[in-house]
């Protein structure tokens, strides 16, 4: 599992362990499904979201699988426990015009000074532009983007090899705008990166760019473009999927490009596409307009 998932499971199991201690349960084998249901119900009443409860139950199921292998417990009390149903929220996306405005190239001039100074802001703006173009062009997750190494990107072939969830590798295409932005960034990357750094995107310290740093840069970029909406890296992935599905109608193709293990995960974008069509219908079809008396 990813370091992020392992950290989340560690927090979940720590919370569960604390709850077990408060109930004066001294052995893991004592717990049954009713205990786990009670734990889930109490955390839900405390305000924890259904999605977070689902993750906690997943952590507990995995933990009891480990206890069974170690001979500590013979049953898994979380097997039949389900979290409350989560409300379905469709991911927010930008339309094509908004995305084009966001990705407008800032008037950055990279001269001799920028090539010689490792911390020059203009070089970092080229990095940001390349990162944003690649997020939208290839539908990458934030972790996939910052995990890219130089050897993973083939500008000539216009493809990138990314490491997705579950340590699964996939090849994604890179669009022409992203290629141009990457070329500009790679021309000045040496003025920022340390000699031994392999990452495509690096921070001011010359090391691999962190996730939080990129999130802040994306928000700052959006503010400078005066979009007036909250922009985050995953919004580019949602927009990529929605726009591609709207244009092609190829759900399986979008699934492959996104690296989804299950097509049901990709199907949420069909709802987004239908919303777009419904709005077009309501605005355009003569029989859809409301006649007011």
Nearest to 98 by CA among 218, 231, 214: 231
Q: How far is CA 42 from the centre of its chain?
A: 29
Residues 16/60, Cβ–Cβ less than 8 Å: yes
How many residues make up the chain in this entry? 293
- State the catalytic residues: 141, 165, 234, 237, 260, 269
Helix pair angle (3-22, 50-69), 10° resolution: 80
Q: Are strands 153-154 and 159-163 parallel, antiparallel or unpaired?
A: antiparallel
The string of DSSP letters for the chain reads --HHHHHHHHHHHHHHHHHHHHTT---GGG--HHHHHHHHHHHHHTT--HHHHHHHHHHHHHHHHHHHHTTS-SS-TTTT--PPPPPP-PPP---HHHHHHHTPPP-----HHHHH-TT-HHHHHHHHHHHHHHHHHHT--HHHHHT-BGGGEETTTTEEEEE-GGG-EEEEE--HHHHHHHHHHHHHGGGTS-TT--BSSB-TTSSBPPHHHHHHHHHHHHHHTT--S---HHHHHHHHHHHHHHHH--HHHHHHHHT-SSHHHHTHHHHHHHHHHHHHHHHH-TTTSPPP-
């Amino acid at each position: 599992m990813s370091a992020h998932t392992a950290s989340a499971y560690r927090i979940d199991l720590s919370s569960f362990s604390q709850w077990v201690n408060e109930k004066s349960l001294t052995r893991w084998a004592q717990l049954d499904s009713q205990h786990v249901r009670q734990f889930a119900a109490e955390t839900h009443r405390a305000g924890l979201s259904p999605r977070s409860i689902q993750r906690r139950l997943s952590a507990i199921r995995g933990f009891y699988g480990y206890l069974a292998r170690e001979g500590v417990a013979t049953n898994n009390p979380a097997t039949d426990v389900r979290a409350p149903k989560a409300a379905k929220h469709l991911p927010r996306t930008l339309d094509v015009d908004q995305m084009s405005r966001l990705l407008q190239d800032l008037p950055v001039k990279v001269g001799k000074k920028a090539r010689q100074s490792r911390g020059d802001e203009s070089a970092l703006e080229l990095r940001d532009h390349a990162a944003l173009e690649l997020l939208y062009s290839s539908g990458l997750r934030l972790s996939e983007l910052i995990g890219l190494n130089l050897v993973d990107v083939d500008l000539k072939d216009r493809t990138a090899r990314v490491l997705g969830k579950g340590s699964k590798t996939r090849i994604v295409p890179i669009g022409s705008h992203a290629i141009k932005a990457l070329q500009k960034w790679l021309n000045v990357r040496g003025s920022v990166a340390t000699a031994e750094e392999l990452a495509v995107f690096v921070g001011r310290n010359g090391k691999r760019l962190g996730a939080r740093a990129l999130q802040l840069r994306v928000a700052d970029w959006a503010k400078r473009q005066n979009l007036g909406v909250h922009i985050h890296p995953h919004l580019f992935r949602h927009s990529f999927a929605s726009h591609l599905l709207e244009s092609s109608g190829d759900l399986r193709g979008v699934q492959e490009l996104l690296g989804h293990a299950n097509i049901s995960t990709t199907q949420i974008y069909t709802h987004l596409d239908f919303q777009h069509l419904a709005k077009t219908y309501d605005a355009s079809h003569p029989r859809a307009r409301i006649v007011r008396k």
